[in-house]
Structure 1
Amino acid sequence: MALSDDDYFIEPLGKHDRAAFCCGVEELDRYLKQQAGQDARKRVAAPFVLVEKSSGSIACYYTLSATSIKLGELPLAISKKLPKYPIVPATLLGRLAVNQNHRQKGLGEMLLMDALYRSLNSEIATTAVIVEAKDDDARSFYEHYNFMRFPDFSHRLFLMMETIAKMFA
């Protein structure tokens, strides 16, 4: 099946039916079903859902929130180009999950690109997008899109806004 923008749309989490969502990772399923709405209302995270137009079902979701990076955690080649503040602002891509019924359609990439684009176009200053990969497969997914590992954290990765801007130029 060829993926088309006509098949799906992305929007903030609202009154969507979340009960049937199953990505196969209990923690991610439970978050969407039980916590995401509350996090949105309390402005702790901004959940976004990719919805299949034909069924109205949630095919994937991700969350964005504000975070920060200790300057010393970044590779020296990057930190030396930044202002010498002890911490710099960043955007956390906290969760990204694809429903098992919607795998192998390129939806993870579509969601990631949407998250990066929203982060780039935010009116809030941010130096990078950070992810905490849950396992080696997730880490490989992000590394495929040029995310770099923090030197001291094997599953914590980042992508500088400068790089994201070039992606969308």
Structure 2
Amino acid sequence: MGFRIEPLAAHGRAAFACGVPALDRYFREIVTQDIRRRVSNCFIALSAEGTVAAYYTLAATSLPITDLPAEDAVKLPRYPLLPAGLIGRLAVDDRFKGQGLGSALIVDAIGRVARADPAVFALVVDAKDEAAVRFYQHLGFQSFISHPMKLYLPVAAALKRLASQAQSLK
């Protein structure tokens, strides 16, 4: 089944159900307020029939260099904070789980921050539970030293990984 990812606009959200009440409520009732206030953007995956199958939010944030493992921090300028993109929420409707949409949304977020005019060092996520930590780690995210449920993915490393995967498909 083909999906397309685009910014949230006047799409139907009432039927969205991912099984996590807080994520469902946010998407149905709050997300447009955050977009209007410019605190985050929301991107959705639409099915061929136009059903919202998944969504994620993306906002600007920063991360303290002291939260990175020493082997990563030593390679970076000694700025106290590094620019980052925050995936605040990510959810897949129960009807569409198991089709790789979560990974596709992460790839979309990587592309968006890589194309952004301001530099973005990494994507940051706050995992809700251990299953989410494993999902993000499978995609190359690493835990912060002081917050094991908070993870980051350096954009340069993600782009390199995606390019390598694309080469292997040829």
Q: Same fold (TM over 0.5)?
A: yes
TM-score range, shorter chain: over 0.9
User: C-alpha deviations, 1:90-123, integer Å up to 9, x for none?
Assistant: 1101111000011111111111111111122211
Give the CA deviation at 1:28. 0.5
Give the CA deviation at 1:143. 0.3
For normalisation by structure 1, the TM-score amounts to 0.93
Unaligned runs of 5+ in 2: 164-170
Q: Secondary structure of the residue that 2:55 maps to in structure 1?
A: strand
Distance 1:110 1:68 in 2: 24
Equivalence for 2:62: 68
Structure 2 residue corresponding to 1:135, chosen from 129, 135, 138: 129
Aligned length: 163
Equivalence for 2:41: 46
Give the CA deviation at 1:140. 0.3
Matches within 5 A, 1:9-158: 9-54=4-49, 56-158=50-152
Letter of the structure 1 residue corresponding to residue 120 of structure 2 = T
Distance 1:111 1:165 in 2: 14
Equivalence for 1:163: 157
| Contact 2:42-2:57 within 8 A present in 1 as well | yes
Distance 1:102 1:41 in 2: 28
RMSD: 1.0
Q: Which structure has greater helix proportion? A: 2
Distance 1:111 1:85 in 2: 29
Equivalence for 2:167: none
For normalisation by structure 2, the TM-score amounts to 0.92
Distance 1:89 1:82 in 2: 12
Unaligned runs of 5+ in 1: none
Q: Secondary structure of the residue that 2:34 maps to in structure 1?
A: helix
Give the CA deviation at 1:23. 0.2
| Contact 1:117-1:168 within 8 A present in 2 as well | no
Distance 2:158 2:148 in 1: 21
Distance 2:134 2:54 in 1: 19
Letter of the structure 2 residue corresponding to residue 134 of structure 1 = K
